[in-house]
């Protein structure tokens, strides 16, 4: 995400904090970085180890990420055999980009978070050591093996209630701990919430953090805790700088408050927490727009809506966090930075915050309106376990409806008895029953008469129709084109732009939910589709038929 920094200059009448001016002489920089080789896993009192690590102590295996001025590698430490992530920054690049403060602050904050305390929580990427050579700086960190939360949200589009509560709970614990240490993160977002091997959160990216001079609960007159402007060393009164990401940036960062010397404090992270919770539940952040300038305007006007199907308790909590006035955010005026008022909110009912870190995280599943979490959970978990006995006992309305249309299960040919070819044929001609000549003829007709032909790559359209495709909880009207291949293309009909296609494989599975709603499950994503005319079953039938034609009755 682009730094908010550059774009704020476009905002009319908003305070603009330019990049931190750093004409740092190279010599001074090198002496600062030479202090970087002190390992940090020790308690404060432990003596620093004598030997410094070097790149030769590791096997660099692969690149796992790239930042604006760094490359992150997965590496193996020779001595211990443990896997670590090593962030490598070019010294020249850092100097050129004036990122020295950023790098030093990241190290300072990670050291602070590593300091063992009774109330420590293990929700941060750990800094094991830092070292450097002539050209580069190295940060040896714990390896977040499961990527970041954003990639999971993209995959399932929304988190169900259990997941939202669990991951929002861990995030809140992490925020509480940072604030108790006087650290304001200022760039909390799903990309910066990494996941450990065991699927617990590991917050990362501490370069934008602020270190508070002293930790005080904000009062309405002071707006927020006292912070230095850039790390902990800026003279008081200097104008604050902008950091963060547009979708999660709090209004006080953008407002005239900065011009008046008012400063950004812990409530900025509570705002981001509200935005992230909104995104967990709905799939998208609350403030969206084609560019950052429009997003900023929406943030300042508190212009956002809750889509249909948003969890009511989560809605109430988000509303209490997304307050323009920082002191009015739930938890913001709480003494001692313990966010019990947030933890006691009904959304978190049943969450045991103190044991989250040792609980087994719930499997990440989507929140689908019209279905219960249990429904999704049992449906998807059964699939994972390879349980082909997908049929339920009893005869509730849904079951009855399915049986009426002759669909024996919730799934495609893989999980239901396949109709005998003769039985199918005797009833009607199958959708794939055409000769090569008929196909050619239909293609010629299609090219001449069907305005959607240009999107299907020369394939024959077997079925087409408008469906509401959900992006999270947000419906988007799309023209769906099921073709030979097989392919299932979808097009934005307003702009006549091909938006993508549902990937076919033998793992594709359809699931009917109501007369209007059906799902297509693929290994990486569940597509939530709605036929507002009520012919979801027809879509399912046709998709299943095409599936059987290409993949048989399943593996």
Between 90 and 375, name the residue whose CB sits nearer to ligand ATP. Answer: 90
Closest CA to 493 of 466, 469, 456: 466
Q: 475: number of CA atoms within 13 Å, CB side?
A: 15
Please work out the total of residues on this chain that contact ligand ATP, with binding judged by CB under 6 A.
20
If binding is defined by CB under 6 A, does position 199 make contact with ligand ATP?
no
Cβ distance 287 to 303 under 8 Å? Answer: yes
Burial 443-470 (b: 16+ CB within 10 A, else e): beebeeebebbebbeebbbbbeebbbbb
The 134-173 contact track toward ligand ATP, x by CB under 6 A, reads -------xxxx---x-------------------------
87 is in an annotated binding site: yes
The answer to whether the Cα torsion of 51, 55, 59, 62 is positive or negative is positive
User: For residues 48-67, which are near ligand ATP according to CB under 6 A?
Assistant: 64-67
Q: 484: number of CA atoms within 13 Å, CB side?
A: 14
The 391-410 contact track toward ligand ATP, x by CB under 6 A, reads --------------------
Binding-site member from 57, 161, 205, 541 for ligand ATP (CB under 6 A): 205
CA distance 393 to 52: 65
Residue 309 beta carbon to ligand ATP: minimum distance, rounded to whole angstroms: 30
Residue 139 beta carbon to ligand ATP: minimum distance, rounded to whole angstroms: 9
Residue 153 beta carbon to ligand ATP: minimum distance, rounded to whole angstroms: 14
Between 72 and 380, name the residue whose CB sits nearer to ligand ATP. Answer: 72
Closest CA to 105 of 232, 244, 207, 240: 207
User: Could you tell me the CA-to-CA distances from 179 to 186, 292, 308, 355, 481 in Å, in that order?
Assistant: 11, 27, 34, 20, 51
Q: Which one of the spans 54-62, 68-76, 358-366, 465-473 is the region binding ligand ATP (CB under 6 A)? A: 68-76
CA distance 235 to 169: 36
If binding is defined by CB under 6 A, does position 204 make contact with ligand ATP?
yes
Binding-site member from 4, 8, 110, 125 for ligand ATP (CB under 6 A): 125
Residue 148 beta carbon to ligand ATP: minimum distance, rounded to whole angstroms: 6
Positions marked active-site? 187
Q: Which two tokens stand for residue 337?
A: 């930075």
Angle, to 10 degrees, between the axis of helix 100-114 and the axis of helix 26-33?
A: 20
Pairs from 18-24 (Cβ < 8 Å, separation ≥ 24): 18/241, 19/98, 19/241, 20/98, 20/101, 20/230, 20/241, 21/98, 22/98, 22/100, 22/101, 24/95, 24/98, 24/100
Residue 107 beta carbon to ligand ATP: minimum distance, rounded to whole angstroms: 12
If binding is defined by CB under 6 A, does position 85 make contact with ligand ATP?
yes
If binding is defined by CB under 6 A, does position 70 make contact with ligand ATP?
yes
If binding is defined by CB under 6 A, does position 2 make contact with ligand ATP?
no
Residue 126 beta carbon to ligand ATP: minimum distance, rounded to whole angstroms: 8
If binding is defined by CB under 6 A, does position 194 make contact with ligand ATP?
yes
Cβ distance 203 to 185 under 8 Å? Answer: yes
Annotated binding site for ATP: 87
Annotated binding site: 87
Residues that bind ligand ATP (CB under 6 A): 64-70, 72, 85, 87, 125, 141-144, 148, 191, 194, 204-205
């Amino acid at each position: 995400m682009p730094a908010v920094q550059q774009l704020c200059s476009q905002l009319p009448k908003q305070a603009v904090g330019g990049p931190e001016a750093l004409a740092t002489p190279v010599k001074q920089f090198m002496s600062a970085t030479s202090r970087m080789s002190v390992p940090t896993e020790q308690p404060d009192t432990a003596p620093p180890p004598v030997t410094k690590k070097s790149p030769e102590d590791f096997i660099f295996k692969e690149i796992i990420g790239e930042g604006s001025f760094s490359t992150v590698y997965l590496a193996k430490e020779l001595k211990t055999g443990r896997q670590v992530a090593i962030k490598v920054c070019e010294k020249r690049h850092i100097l050129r980009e004036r990122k020295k403060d950023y790098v030093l602050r990241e190290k300072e904050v990670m050291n602070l978070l590593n300091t063992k305390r009774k109330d420590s929580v293990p929700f941060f990427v750990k800094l094991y050591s830092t070292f450097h050579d002539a050209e580069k700086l190295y940060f040896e960190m714990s390896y977040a093996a499961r990527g970041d939360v954003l990639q999971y949200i993209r995959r399932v589009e929304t988190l169900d209630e259990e997941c939202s509560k669990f991951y929002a709970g861990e995030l809140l614990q992490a925020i509480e701990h940072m604030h108790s240490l006087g650290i304001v993160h200022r760039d909390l977002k799903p990309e910066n919430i990494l996941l450990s091997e065991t699927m617990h959160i590991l917050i990362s990216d501490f370069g934008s953090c602020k270190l508070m001079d002293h930790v005080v609960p904000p009062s309405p007159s002071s707006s927020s805790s006292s912070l230095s402007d850039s790390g902990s060393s800026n003279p008081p009164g200097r104008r604050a700088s902008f950091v963060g990401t547009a979708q999660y940036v709090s209004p006080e960062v953008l407002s005239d408050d900065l011009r008046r010397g008012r400063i950004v404090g812990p409530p900025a992270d509570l705002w981001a927490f509200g935005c992230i919770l909104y995104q967990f539940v709905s799939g998208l952040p609350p403030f969206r727009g084609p560019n950052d300038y429009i997003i900023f305007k929406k943030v300042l006007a508190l212009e956002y809506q809750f889509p249909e199907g948003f969890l009511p308790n989560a809605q109430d909590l988000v509303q209490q966090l997304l307050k323009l006035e920082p002191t009015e955010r739930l938890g913001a005026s709480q003494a001692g930075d313990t966010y019990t008022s947030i933890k006691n909110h009904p959304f978190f009912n049943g969450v045991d915050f103190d044991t989250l870190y040792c609980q087994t995280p719930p499997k990440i599943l989507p929140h689908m309106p019209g279905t219960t979490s249990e429904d999704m959970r049992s449906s998807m978990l059964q699939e994972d376990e390879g349980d082909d006995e997908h049929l339920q006992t009893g005869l509730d309305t849904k079951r009855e409806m399915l049986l009426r249309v002759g669909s024996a299960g919730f799934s495609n040919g893989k999980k239901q008895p396949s109709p005998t070819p003769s039985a199918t044929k005797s009833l009607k001609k199958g959708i794939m029953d055409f000769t090569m000549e008929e196909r050619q003829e239909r293609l010629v007709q299609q090219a001449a008469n069907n305005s959607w032909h240009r999107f299907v790559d020369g394939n024959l359209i077997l079925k087409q129709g408008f469906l509401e495709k959900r992006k999270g909880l947000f419906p988007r009207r799309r023209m769906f084109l099921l073709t030979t291949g097989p392919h299932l293309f979808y097009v934005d009909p307003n702009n006549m732009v091909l938006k993508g296609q549902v990937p076919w494989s033998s793992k594709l599975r359809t699931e009917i939910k109501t007369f209007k709603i059906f799902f297509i499950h693929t290994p990486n994503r569940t597509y939530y589709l709605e036929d507002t005319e009520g012919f979801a079953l027809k879509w399912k039938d046709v998709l299943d038929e095409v599936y059987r034609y290409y993949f048989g009755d399943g593996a």
